[in-house]
A and B are shown apart, each in its own frame.
Chain A
Amino acid sequence: NAGVTQTPKFQVLKTGQSMTLQCAQDMNHNSMYWYRQDPGMGLRLIYYSASEGTTDKGEVPNGYNVSRLNKREFSLRLESAAPSQTSVYFCASSESASARATEKLFFGSGTQLSVL
């Protein structure tokens, strides 16, 4: 009954370092998403993927890249981390075959990232 699994749970980076956040879902969902959560700003969409092999930019894509490796996995990469990317990152998935019809999202437990 895993749902959406994110790794790692915590990470500290130095400015300029790179890393990849991993996300996997076992619900056979079509759409997957990456959000960041910042104090007083709610959740903002970074990238989403409506199906395997497709990705689209969300509200705040700059500084990030994503890969939809297969139907289960959707990774988020920071090529050169900056302090402004300090945040909590959430992966989510939905059954919908079109991200445009998204309603119920299932979220992972989050990755707390600090960039020094």
Chain B
Amino acid sequence: GDSVTQMEGPVTLSEEAFLTINCTYTATGYPSLFWYVQYPGEGLQLLLKATKADDKGSNKGFEATYRKETTSFHLEKGSVQVSDSAVYFCALFTGSARQLTFGSGTQLTVLP
């Protein structure tokens, strides 16, 4: 079945550091890929998405590129801020699964 594997956390960075959170997937068909973010005490929010190979999703300084050849969708940000501290979830959707499949989440803490 479909699955998403995320880099295990927690990840702790200093402000202005470069961020990478790895995400790889296994899916039948051609999935759409997503990153959701969960700030403390809140529900998940869509951060960015990509719907086909080589697409780049971007939002709030975060980027992720859909790499079909490596089945990956790694999240990157060039300079993190304290306000980026949250849990980040990679997810995929395929028509065969009829639902979003989430990774286990990666806790990011950014220190001032």
**Bound pair (A, B):** yes
Is chain B's interface secondary structure helix, strand, loop, or mixed overall? strand
In-complex Cβ contact of B104 among A41, A99, A105, A110 (8 A): A41
Cβ of A102 to closest chain B Cβ, rounded Å: 6
Q: Which of A11-19, A42-50, A69-77, A78-86 contacts B (4 or more CB under 8 A)?
A: A42-50
- Size band of the interface chain B makes with A: 20 to 34
Q: Is the CB of A107 within 8 A of B44?
A: yes
* Contact between chains at B43 and A104 (CB < 8 Å): no
Contact between chains at B43 and A43 (CB < 8 Å): no
Partner of A102, one of B41, B43, B99, B105: B99
B interface list, Cβ under 8 A from A: 4, 32, 34, 36, 41-46, 49, 89, 93, 95, 98-100, 102-105
Closest 9 CB pairs of A and B: A107-B43, A42-B102, A43-B102, A42-B104, A107-B44, A100-B98, A104-B46, A109-B43, A108-B43
